[in-house]
Structure 1
Amino acid sequence: MNALSHEFDLSRTTMLPAVKRGAARDADTTKLASQWDAVHEAAAAIGVLAQLGRGDEDDAVKGLPDRALQLGGFEYEMVLRGVDDLAAVMQPGLRALLALSAQGQDTTSAALTLWQEFHKSRDAIIGFAPLN
């Protein structure tokens, strides 16, 4: 029987990214806070299109960027990546909804689906830096 082989040498790799220090980390934190605000603005617009209105934000939502920065390490990196991924999903979704709305089409069902996905994703991201 032949064993599977591969040409990858993983002996010098690290699985987790190194924690950034100084200016690079500050830039990431600024990016994190602005993206966090932006996805919530997009979610508010989606809530209107879903005929739900603008949702309330509790302390767990408002303080996430600061909590992630205080935690640092793996949790910070996961929050940073999660928010970046969430922004990447929200942008085309909102664009599509706005295009449909501009054509006079009912966006309620599609907007509700995207709104629900936003909240599930947001809750998962908050799970990396929960409010104690």
Structure 2
Amino acid sequence: MDRTSKAHGSNGTNGRAPDGQRPRPGRPNFGKGTGNTLSLKWSALHDAAQAVATIAGAAPEVAVDEVRRFPVSMREAGGWRLQHAEQGIADLTSIMEPGLSALLAALARGANPQAAALALWNEFLEARNALLELLPPERQSARRPS
């Protein structure tokens, strides 16, 4: 019996999905074009937000389609929508990065930053929902998570 074929999958893909990327359990897929800078930033922002939510004790968020497809939708829309999306993501990142760093530093000192994390989590949700307003009307869902 060949152990190599079982360890890497018998289809010769080394455990990779048909698109060549390794599947990541527990991590949402933010659409095709993940090599795109906007998609990468959006995904990293949501990774940081999930860490904040965990510290806050908030329930894990289930990403809806408009959230997952936001970078793709903005690239397709182009123009002013794309420019505002890029700026909004940069602004939200500039809030989340030092906020998460401060929360992690507080945890490392043995403090309980749950209240601060909850405030940052709520701020993230509000700012992210404002960014979702940039979606063209046909891309917006009738109901958005809060």
Q: TM-score range by the shorter chain?
A: 0.7 to 0.9
Match for residue 107 of structure 1 among 108, 113, 127: 113
TM-superposed deviation, 1:61: 0.4
Q: Do residues 30 (structure 1) and 36 (structure 2) align?
A: yes
Distance (whole Å) between structure 2 residues aligned to residue 85 and residue 48 of structure 1: 22
Residue ranges of structure 2 left out of the alignment (5+ in a row): 1-34, 141-146
TM-score normalized with structure 2 length? 0.68
Residues 14-68 of structure 1, C-alpha deviation per residue, up to 9 Å, x if partnerless? xxxxxxxxxxxxxxx8221111001100010001100114211100100000000
Q: Which structure is higher in helix share?
A: 1
CA contact (8 A) 1:44 1:53 kept: no
Distance (whole Å) between structure 1 residues aligned to residue 48 and residue 60 of structure 2: 10
TM-superposed deviation, 1:126: 0.9
Distance (whole Å) between structure 2 residues aligned to residue 69 and residue 51 of structure 1: 34
Distance (whole Å) between structure 1 residues aligned to residue 78 and residue 50 of structure 2: 29
Q: Do residues 40 (structure 1) and 40 (structure 2) align?
A: no
Q: Do residues 71 (structure 1) and 77 (structure 2) align?
A: yes
CA contact (8 A) 1:79 1:129 kept: no
The residue number in structure 1 matching 2:135 is 129
Residues 68-100 of structure 1, C-alpha deviation per residue, up to 9 Å, x if partnerless? 011110001000110111111100000000000
Residue ranges of structure 1 left out of the alignment (5+ in a row): 1-28
TM-score normalized with structure 1 length? 0.75
State which structure, 1 or 2, has the greater radius of gyration over its C-alpha atoms.
1
Residues 80-122 of structure 1, C-alpha deviation per residue, up to 9 Å, x if partnerless? 1101111111000000000001111111100000000000000
Distance (whole Å) between structure 2 residues aligned to residue 53 and residue 47 of structure 1: 7
The residue number in structure 1 matching 2:61 is 55
Structure 1 runs (4+) deviating above 6 angstroms are none
Identity across matched positions, percent? 35
Q: Secondary structure at the match of 2:111?
A: coil
